[in-house]
């Protein structure tokens, strides 16, 4: 069994996240959740930007 097989897939984690019942959470817990999600959104946007820049650099390098 591969170590990666034991880890849940990101799509599964996202599904669990959006299905979580928010009713039992306090305002402070909800605010902390929002802050964490906003941080993750920023991290994903940075990754996208790096990927776009990397691709543009590669395209420029191999442009005839």
pLDDT one-digit tens code per residue, 18-57: 999 999 999 999 999 999 999 999 999 999 999 999 988 8
Could you tell me if residue 14 is inside a domain?
no
Please report the pLDDT score of residue 62 as a whole number: 80
DSSP symbols for 2-63: -HHHHSPPHHHHHHHHHHS--TT--HHHHHHHHHHHHHHHHHHHHHHHHHHHHHHHHHHHT-
**Is residue 16 domain-resident?**
no
CA gap 41, 49 in Å, rounded: 12
Residue 3 lies in a domain: no
Q: What is the pLDDT of residue 34?
A: 97
Question: Which domain does 41 fall in, by range?
Answer: 26-64
Question: What is the model's pLDDT at position 56?
Answer: 86
Q: Please report whether residue 17 resides in a domain.
A: no
d(CA 41, CA 46): 9
Does some domain include residue 5?
no
Q: Does pTM top 0.75 for this prediction?
A: no
Q: Report the 10 Å Cβ neighbour count for 25.
A: 13
């Amino acid at each position: 069994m591969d170590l990666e097989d034991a880890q849940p897939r990101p799509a599964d984690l996202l599904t669990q996240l959006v299905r979580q019942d928010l009713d039992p959470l306090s305002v402070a817990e909800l605010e902390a959740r929002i802050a964490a999600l906003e941080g993750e959104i920023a991290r994903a946007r940075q990754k996208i930007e790096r990927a776009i820049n990397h691709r543009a650099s590669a395209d420029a390098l191999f442009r005839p």
